[in-house]
Amino acid sequence: MSNLFKDGNMADFLNKILSLGDKIEVLSGDEEIEEGSYVYASDNFVVWADDNGHMNTSNLNNVTVRKV
């Protein structure tokens, strides 16, 4: 896994391990914010769609993204 972070950041890492439409959980600390679908990550933000189809952005400094 160390090669995934070489010359990159968390957004690059997420784009390598997740694909458009992958189901994810977005968490703040130990609490789930919501589940949704991964869209992409860039500039320290993750873009995702919730189950109602709303597009969301979350700062990667404040959340954890987990594939479900």
Instruction: Report pLDDT digits (tens) over 2-60.
Output: 555 566 789 999 999 999 999 999 999 888 889 999 999 999 999 999 999 999 999 99
C-alpha angle with apex 46: 42 to 49, nearest 5 degrees?
130
pLDDT value for 31: 86
Which sequence spans correspond to the domains of the chain?
2-67
pLDDT, position 29: 84
Q: Is 61 helix (H, G, I), strand (E, B) or coil?
A: coil
Residue 3: what pLDDT? Answer: 57
Say what the pLDDT of residue 58 is.
95
pLDDT at 7: 62
CATH class of the domain whose range is 2-67: mainly beta
pLDDT at res. 55? 97
Q: Radius of gyration over alpha carbons of the chain, in Å? A: 11
